[in-house]
């Protein structure tokens, strides 16, 4: 697998980033440092959860997305739409209306991501029954899968190797279109994504050679477009043609919300959302402190995908609306009839390959060398003040010590160490300033009334 070129969807805009420490302090894997006055994300530690993007006060962290026009490279342009897109609209806007607007935008087909959720659910139950070790963990959220690879490699074998709806549905719809006689090269499937993690999963899939998707569309981008067009239609009171759509069952509609998978699984199941909650729980699971649990639904975002970084609508309202919509579909089967006809094909294509550990916690590959480095870290911690202020460009003293041992920083990056060195005439004031400028950018300490909160801010 292409471990080296690990793709991340979260990027820092150096123009906008002014080198505060908000993102650095919230990153759950400690992957952010400040260098030259800008945030920099360590590629091998980032899990694309999007916490940094939420924390940034100036929107300098953004999600890299495909150019929308890319869809026009294909004759058959498929949008794969997750329920949380629909959940952002008031209930008077119908699914059919939203999808018809999307066709106006240029898609030839609009399909729902959760179309395969019922089938996945059934497969997960079957695979879980065979599982050697419980609890089994859902592979639904790509940020969580990456988190486990990096931080909890010993739990990797417990991750269910069943495709999440996005991949399963892409595989399914592609096959159906091919069977309709469409040239495979003409089919382009685009996922409307609520988060960065799904983008990363499409660009560098885990446990797969190649993603079954051709691209991703930022949900907030498309939401705004649809919203405007739907509003115009309502103003003109032109009634939308009302396209026939395969219906989703209530459970499939709620699949990406917290509890959505748990509701269909067997045994004792837990649903945990928000990445820090997940980390806390996985720590306990790894210590064998948790007993008798059969299945874990783990999602990186609060309120699961309704709280994805690219979901513009309020997450609690989105959840409420989807629950209300689901009621309307009472009685619809979890596994749609058209999928049943493909059950043979799908059973061969629902699995995913081996998930490899990417343990980035180790100070060194070699255990002896790692021990030597840990000694050094502990020695450095004797000198660092334990204030965890972040002025060194690392989130806390411990991280700085580890960075120094990895030769990525130096003791004099600590402003308090600088003071002590000056006192003992080991460092000149000039030199100390140069060190600070290297971390925080040139002229960072000069008077500047245009910065956020200063006299001329927002003028």
Partner 1 sequence: MKFKYEIEGGNFSKAGNASSEVKKILKQLNVPPPIIKRLVVALYEGEVNVVAHAWNGCIYVEIEPERIDVKIEDKGPGIPDIEQAMQEGFSTASQAVREMGFGAGMGLPNMKKNADQLNISSKVGKGTIVELVIFLNGKR
Q: Which residues bind partner 1 (CB under 8 A)?
A: 153-154, 283-284, 286-289, 291, 357, 359, 361-368, 370-371, 374-375, 378
Q: What angle do CA 250, 256, 257 make, to 5 degrees?
A: 80
Backbone angles phi, psi at 162, to 5 degrees: -125, 135
Q: What residue 283 binds from ligand SF4, partner 1, none (CB within 5 to 8 A, per partner kind)?
A: partner 1
| Secondary structure of residue 126 in the 3-state scheme | helix
Q: Name the binder of 291 from ligand SF4, partner 1, none, CB < 5-8 A by kind.
A: partner 1
Decide which of partner 1, ligand SF4, none touches 197; Cβ closer than 5 to 8 Å per partner kind: ligand SF4
Cα–Cα distance, 229 to 221 (Å, whole number): 13
Instruction: Confirm or reject binding of residue 12 to ligand SF4 (CB under 6 A).
Output: no
**Contact track, ligand SF4, 197-236, x by CB under 6 A:** xx--------------------------------------
Q: Please report whether residue 143 would count as binding ligand SF4 according to CB under 6 A.
A: yes
In this chain, which stretch among 280-288, 293-301, 359-367, 440-448 interacts with ligand SF4, using CB under 6 A? Answer: 293-301
Cα dist. 431→54, 180, 195, 225, 422 in Å? 36, 70, 43, 53, 10
Binding partner of 367, given ligand SF4, partner 1, none, CB within 5-8 angstroms per partner class: partner 1
Residue with tokens 């059919």: 96
301 contact, one of partner 1, ligand SF4, none, CB 5-8 Å limit per kind: ligand SF4
Q: CA-CA distance, 244 to 51, in Å (whole number)?
A: 38
Least separation in angstroms between CB 317 and ligand SF4: 16
Closest separation in Å from C-beta 361 to partner 1? 4
Dihedral sign, Cα of residue 129, residue 132, residue 135, residue 136: negative
Strand partners, 38: 35
The DSSP output letter for 363 is S
Q: Is 300 a residue that touches ligand SF4 (CB under 6 A)?
A: yes
User: Could you give the angle at which helices 165-179 and 196-203 cross, rounded to 10 degrees?
Assistant: 50
Asked if residues 384 and 417 have their Cβ atoms less than 8 Å apart, the reply is yes
313 is a site residue for ligand SF4 (CB under 6 A): no
Of 222 and 394, CB closest to ligand SF4? 222
The count of residues interacting with ligand SF4 (CB under 6 A) is 13
C-alpha dihedral sign at 375, 379, 380, 386 = positive
**Binding partner of residue 209 among ligand SF4, partner 1, none, CB cut-off 5 to 8 Å per kind:** none
Rank residues 102 and 310 by Cβ distance to ligand SF4 and give the closer one: 310
**Residue 237: Cβ within 10 Å count:** 6
Indicate whether 336 belongs to the interface with ligand SF4 (CB under 6 A): no
Residue 299: name its binding partner from ligand SF4, partner 1, none (Cβ under 5 to 8 Å by kind).
Answer: ligand SF4
Under the binding rule (CB under 6 A), the answer on residue 141 touching ligand SF4 is yes
Q: Which is nearer to partner 1, 349 or 359 (CB)?
A: 359
DSSP 342: T
Nearest approach, Cβ of residue 294 and partner 1 (Å) = 16
The torsion defined by the Cα of 237, 241, 242 and 246, in degrees rounded to 10, comes to -150
φ/ψ of 64, rounded to 5, equals -70, 130
Q: How many other CB atoms sit within 10 Å of the CB of residue 291?
A: 8
For residue 394, count other CB atoms closer than 10 A to its CB: 26
For 112, 125, 137, the CA distances from 167, given in Å and listed in that order, are 12, 18, 17
Angle value at C-alpha 337, between 348 and 299, nearest 5 degrees: 65
Strands (E), 285-409: 295-299
Q: Are 432 and 423 in contact (CB under 8 A)?
A: no
- 194 near ligand SF4 (CB under 6 A): yes
Q: With CB under 6 A as the contact rule, which of the stretches 89-97, 211-219, 295-303, 389-397 interacts with ligand SF4? A: 295-303
Question: Residue 8 Cβ, how far from partner 1 at the closest point, in Å?
Answer: 22
Residue 33 DSSP label: E
194 binds, among ligand SF4, partner 1, none (CB under 5 to 8 A by kind): ligand SF4
Give the binding range for ligand SF4 (CB under 6 A) out of 106-114, 245-253, 299-307, 416-424. Answer: 299-307
- Helix ranges (H only) for 271-366 are 275-286, 315-328, 337-340, 343-349
Q: How far is the CB of 171 from ligand SF4 (least distance, A)?
A: 18
308 binds ligand SF4 (CB under 6 A): yes
Q: How far is the CB of 155 from partner 1 (least distance, A)?
A: 9
141 binds, among ligand SF4, partner 1, none (CB under 5 to 8 A by kind): ligand SF4
Q: Is 146 in the site for ligand SF4 (CB under 6 A)?
A: no
The binding site for ligand SF4 (CB under 6 A) comprises 49, 141, 143, 194-195, 197-198, 299-301, 304-305, 308
């Amino acid at each position: 697998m292409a471990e080296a070129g690990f793709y991340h969807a979260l990027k820092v805009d150096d123009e906008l980033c002014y080198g505060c420490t908000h993102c650095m302090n919230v990153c759950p894997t400690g992957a952010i440092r400040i260098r030259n006055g800008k945030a920099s994300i360590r590629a091998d530690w980032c899990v694309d959860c999007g916490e940094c993007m939420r924390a940034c006060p100036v929107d300098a962290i953004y999600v890299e997305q495909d150019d929308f026009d890319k869809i026009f490279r294909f004759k058959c342009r498929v949008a794969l739409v997750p329920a949380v897109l629909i959940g952002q609209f008031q209930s008077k806007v119908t699914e059919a209306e939203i999808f018809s607007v999307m066709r106006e935008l240029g898609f030839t087909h609009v399909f729902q991501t959760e179309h395969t959720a019922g089938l996945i659910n059934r497969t997960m139950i079957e695979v879980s029954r065979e599982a050697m070790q419980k609890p089994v963990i859902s592979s639904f959220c790509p940020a969580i899968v990456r988190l486990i690879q990096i931080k909890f490699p010993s739990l990797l074998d417990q991750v269910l190797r069943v495709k999440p709806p996005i991949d399963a549905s892409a595989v399914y719809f592609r096959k159906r279109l091919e069977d309709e006689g469409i040239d495979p090269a003409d089919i382009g499937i685009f996922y409307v994504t609520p988060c960065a993690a799904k983008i990363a999963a499409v660009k560098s899939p885990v446990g797969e050679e190649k993603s079954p998707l051709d691209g991703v569309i930022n949900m907030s981008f498309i939401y705004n477009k649809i919203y405007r067009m739907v509003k115009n239609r309502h103003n003109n009171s032109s009634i939308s043609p009302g396209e026939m759509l395969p219906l989703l069952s209530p459970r499939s509609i709620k699949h990406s919300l917290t509890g959505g998978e748990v509701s269909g699984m067997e045994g004792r199941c837990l649903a945990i959302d928000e990445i820090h909650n997940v980390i806390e729980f996985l720590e306990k699971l790894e210590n064998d402190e948790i007993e008798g649990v059969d299945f874990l639904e783990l999602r990186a975002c609060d309120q699961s995908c309704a709280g994805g970084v690219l979901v513009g609508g309020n997450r609690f309202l989105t959840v409420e609306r989807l629950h209300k919509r689901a009621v309307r579909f009472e009685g619809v089967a979890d596994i749609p009839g058209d999928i049943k006809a493909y059950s043979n094909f799908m059973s061969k294509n629902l699995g995913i390959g081996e998930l490899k550990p990417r343990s980035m916690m180790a100070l060194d590959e070699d255990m002896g060398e790692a021990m030597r480095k840990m000694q050094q870290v502990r020695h450095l911690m004797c000198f660092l003040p334990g204030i965890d202020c972040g002025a060194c460009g690392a989130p806390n003293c411990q991280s700085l010590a580890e960075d120094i041992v990895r030769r990525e920083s130096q003791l004099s990056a600590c402003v308090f160490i600088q003071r002590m060195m000056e006192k003992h005439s080991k460092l000149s004031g000039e030199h100390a300033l140069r060190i600070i400028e290297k971390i925080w950018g040139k002229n960072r300490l000069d008077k500047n009334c245009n910065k956020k909160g200063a006299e001329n801010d927002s003028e």
